[in-house]
A and B are shown apart, each in its own frame.
Chain A
Amino acid sequence: MDINLNDLLRQFKSHPYEDHHIDAPHTGVVSFKVKEGQEVKGPSGQWLHKPGTLLYILEREKNPKRITSSFSGTVANLRTQLEGTFVHAGERLLTVQHKLNRDEIIDRILRKVLFIFRAPQRARYFFTPEAISFLEKDTDKGLSVAPGDEIIIMSLMKRDTFLPYEGPPGIIYKVYFQQGDLVEQEAPLFGLCPPGKLPFVQKVIQRIRTEWDD
């Protein structure tokens, strides 16, 4: 795996932020609960059961939906002109500028280290029932995958297609989608680590844990 870890870490240290754009998930009347520049928090608690800061309320069919922040950060580009108006689905409402923490840095760097199996089409993806039952088991073994294995179902244009895995054999190290998610073309589905590279991956993680200070 040919990556320059020093360069990557330097890049992230110089700009450890990601912009998370918040769009209306559906139609409704919007009522903002934050101000421009306000610091907001993401979910917290042992099981992330405490919701983040309330960003806005979207009322549709007399049902108010409380939209809370999924990330900590600073509110930017708040479109206050939409206050009290009926918005369409997908309307951009605000941005949360989020500072990446150590685990997120590890995740971003792992995407460059692992073999990433990507979505061939914009479609909904599922693990096969056999794969999901294995992944749900609390086991240290991990799910081994070899070229040609059909562990993913792509649901495209209402048709289910079993997707043969193409890439090196290895163990699924990280899954990037939830069952039934709509995944964009070329977005990662899972990251796979060939068995021989596992020590290297662990070394990368160890180094980031040591060097990155939240």
Chain B
Amino acid sequence: MDKKRILIANRGEIAIRIMNACDELDLDYVVVYTAQDSASLHVKKAIEEKGPEAVYRISNYKDPNEIFSVADHCGADAIHPGYGFFSENFRFARRAALRNRPLTFIGPRWEVIRDLGSKINTKRIAKQLGIPVIPGSDEPLYSEIEAEVLAEKLFFQQKEQGVDKPSILVKASAGGGGMGIEEVNHLDTFRQIYRRIQNYAKRQFGDEGVLIEQCMRDYHHLEVQLLCSQHEEIVHFSTRNCTIQSTGRQKRIEVAPGFDPKTIDYPFDAAKVLDLMVDYSIQLAKEVKYDNVGTWEWIVTRDGKPYLLEVNTRIQVENEISARISRISKHDAPVNLIREQIRSAFGEKLGFKQKHISFAGTSIELRIVAEDVKRGFAPWCGKITTFSFPEKPWVRLYSHVPQDEPYEIPTEYDPNLALAIIWGMNTEQAKERAREFISKTVIRGEDSRGKPIITNLEYLKDRLDDVLKF
């Protein structure tokens, strides 16, 4: 690969992980940041490694003109969008590809993002292929009356099926990452919640379209990690379980693989369900000629039925737990899915096949967040004064929070502080190590009124008992 320059159009820990992948591939990079992020480690690291000319202050991570203008000024060949922001914006990817000075968008080609970026369209394609999806609307709803008719139908269907406490979910159609979703337990409260989500969607995404679907109560949230190339190669890196989430459906603990039938009893054939999900995911990837990393999100109900939720056409926060349990027999270096993603975007062949990938152990990701879990996971704002973690060979930590100076959490973004990726030879060992990691982690700080920092560390510790169990 030629020495190419990548513009990293993201912030925080993902920017740092992309820098690491660039280093592994001997690629040059530049980073962007906003005034609020000037103390972030991603900025500090870029200055230390590449010099002050490798960092650009922009007005907003979500302004495409800022990104393209910096890309041209620094002579970038490609843009890595990370996750969030532009990562699933097909218009941005299309603009990168079709502008006078084309740039490689590190992700799938824009047509794929367009087709799978919409949950509704994904549902439609999946249905055509006979892949199971959750009952509900297959287009955004703008009419309250239409929405209420569908809601009534979904409640009726659940009663017919003998569902104990029927409910539906109202989602912002343009939303993602668990934001803009509320549950309706009774038809009487539907209109109120529908209007709230509609207003939220309009404010946050500029599109008041709303989706409605049956709420599956007793289920696990699973993912299939795929890596595809522009040469129609498809491999999977097993599955993940992301069931432990905040009340706002934000993931907090993720585990790979998605189930552990060797040590945990399931009310269904878990190994068979995992295989089925992988097969369905590959079937859909082939159909749309998927050509980069992607995550197929599923829910699995207690009766062992998988339903496809959506496809995330980007690298996921939790990608590394899949990498940690994987080995590629032809490679010496540990698996790095961001590295593979970049290679794939530049048109390289994978250089390995499914038979070369093996899996070992269990990996757990802990998302350490400044939030008050007792108050509905309310975000905490303030200054961090102490931030230290144990160094162990079985843990990798990614954070944009400096450990050598106080750090004010920016209020513009989620108060995510760090990701800890822990590996164990089996699930029990991984859980034990995660507990040890949490107990030796020290985070101190205070808010503007002098009250001490609140984090989710205790919550994470408590929830470790539940991982992978139905």
Contacts and interface: CB of A to CB of B under 8 A. Distances in A.
Contacts of A63: 65
Given A157-B379, A157-B411, A61 B58 contact: no
Contact of B411 (A25, A26, A28, A123): A123
A180 interface: yes
Contact of A86 (B63, B68, B73, B248): B73
Given A26-B59, A121-B381, A157 B69 contact: no
Given A28-B69, A60-B65, A122-B411, A88 B448 contact: no
A129 interface: yes
Nearest to A186: B448
Given A61-B69, A158-B179, A185 B448 contact: yes
A149 interface: no
A90 interface: yes
B379 A156 contact: yes
A124 B120 CA distance: 30
Interface in B379-413: 379, 381, 411-413
Contact of B415 (A60, A86, A89, A157): A157
Contact of A89 (B59, B72, B73): B59
A159 B248 contact: yes
B139 interface: no
B132 to A, nearest CB: 31
A159 B66 contact: no
Contacts of B145: none
Interface stretch (B185-193, B198-206, B266-274, B358-366): B198-206
B414 A89 contact: no
A69 interface: no
Contacts of B412: 122, 157, 182
Contact of A157 (B59, B72, B414, B448): B414
B203 A180 contact: yes
B57 A88 contact: yes
B411 A27 contact: no
Nearest to A160: B200
A89 B56 CA distance: 8
A129 B199 contact: yes
Contact of A88 (B58, B72, B378, B381): B58
Interface in A155-195: 155-161, 180, 182, 185
Interface residues of A, number: 27
Contacts of B415: 157
A158 B58 contact: no
B35 interface: yes
Contacts of B381: 121, 156-157
A109 B66 CA distance: 39
A27 B7 CA distance: 15
B199 A89 contact: no
B70 interface: yes
A148 B66 CA distance: 41
A158 B70 contact: no
A157 B84 CA distance: 14
A26 B200 contact: no
Contacts of A160: 200, 203
A115 interface: no
A88 B69 contact: no
A89 B411 contact: no
Nearest to B84: A158
Q: Which 7 interchain pairs have the tightest Cβ spacing?
A: A89-B59, A88-B57, A157-B379, A26-B59, A60-B69, A122-B411, A61-B65
25 contacts: A26-B66, A27-B66, A27-B69, A28-B69, A61-B68, A63-B65, A88-B58, A89-B57, A89-B66, A90-B35, A90-B57, A121-B411, A122-B411, A123-B411, A155-B203, A156-B381, A157-B414, A157-B415, A158-B179, A159-B248, A159-B378, A159-B379, A160-B200, A161-B378, A185-B448
Given A27-B56, A27-B69, A182-B412, 9 more contacts: A61-B68, A63-B65, A88-B56, A88-B57, A89-B57, A89-B66, A157-B413, A158-B179, A185-B448
Interface of A: 25-28, 60-61, 63, 86, 88-91, 121-123, 126, 129, 155-161, 180, 182, 185
